[in-house]
Chains A and B, each alone.
Chain A
Amino acid sequence: QVQLQESGPGLVKPSETLSLTCTVSGGSISGYYWSWIRQPPGKGLEWIGQIYYSGSTNYSPSLKSRVTISVDTSKNQFSLRLSSVTAADTALYYCARQEAAAARSDYWGQGTLVTVSS
């Protein structure tokens, strides 16, 4: 059974960079697409971006200037970096898997809360 687990600091200061890692277990990261999705407290889901195991990426236009998603196949992990954060970036961050570029997210991590505050 594939499992995803997000990890990273729960508190980030304004203007700094948010960094999260998603570790995939129970299956290989190779051959699949992997995404980051976030959810501000009490609000809906926002798609951040997607990476293929080979490293090709697609990002949300609204976040593209600040987002970098990378993959480390040797560790079965992929990562999110979001620069110049503000309070509006406070959210529950989820990682998820897709079988193809245009496919549903069939496996999700439990989510990790990141708060942006000084």
Chain B
Amino acid sequence: AIRMTQSPSSFSASTGDRVTITCRASQGISNYLAWYQQIPGKAPKLLIYAASTLQSGVPSRFSGSGTGTDFTLTISCLQSEDFATYYCQQYYTYPHTFGQGTTLDIK
């Protein structure tokens, strides 16, 4: 199975900050990568797919990049509602593995 490793596992930031989360695949996955946001008590919400395509309705402050094994999720100007846990997922091959998650909390 492809292993997805996110970094950092958690960090603190302030409203208005620009933050970047990294996801690394243990082997190449082209651009078959999605990012999800999970607020406590809620189901994951799709933010980005195909590594860089913004899901309809998702604010433009979210962006994704990368191909192959290295990917990033960037939030350009943190809002209060963005403090959550973020997961990457590869769907290049079965099983469709997730990263361990990155929890973003308020500094």
Q: How many residues of B contact A (CB 8 A)?
A: 25
Contact B91 A45 (CB under 8 A): no
Given A45-B101, A103-B91, residue A35 in contact with residue B96 (CB < 8 A): yes
Rounded to whole Å, the gap between the CB of A45 and the closest CB of chain B is: 4
Report B61 CB to chain A, min CB distance, Å.
Answer: 20
Q: How large is the interface on A (under 10, 10 to 19, 20 to 34, 35 or more residues)?
A: 20 to 34
Q: How far is the CB of B23 from chain A (nearest CB, A)?
A: 13
A44 near B46: Cβ-Cβ < 8 Å: no
Are B43 and A111 interface neighbours, CB within 8 A?
yes
B93 to chain A: closest residue by CB: A102
Per-position 1/0 for A71-107, Cβ under 8 A of B: 0000000000000000000000010001000111110
For the residues of B in contact with A, the DSSP-based class is: loop
User: CB distance A102 to B46 under 8 Å?
Assistant: no
In the complex, A15 has a CB within 8 A of chain B: no
Is A53 an interface residue when CB atoms closer than 8 A count as contact?
no
Interface residues of A in 35-67 (CB under 8 A from B): 35, 44-47, 49-50, 58-62
**Cβ-closest 7 pairs across A and B:** A104-B34, A104-B49, A108-B43, A60-B95, A45-B98, A44-B101, A58-B94
Which A residues have a C-beta under 8 Å from some C-beta of B?
35, 44-47, 49-50, 58-62, 94, 98, 102-106, 108-111
Given A44-B98, A45-B87, A62-B95: 15 more A-B contacts, CB < 8 Å: A44-B99, A45-B44, A45-B89, A45-B98, A45-B101, A47-B98, A49-B95, A59-B95, A61-B1, A98-B91, A102-B32, A104-B89, A104-B91, A106-B46, A106-B55
Cβ contacts A to B, 18 pairs, < 8 Å: A35-B96, A44-B87, A44-B98, A44-B100, A44-B101, A45-B101, A47-B95, A47-B98, A49-B95, A50-B94, A60-B95, A94-B44, A102-B92, A104-B49, A104-B89, A104-B91, A110-B42, A111-B43
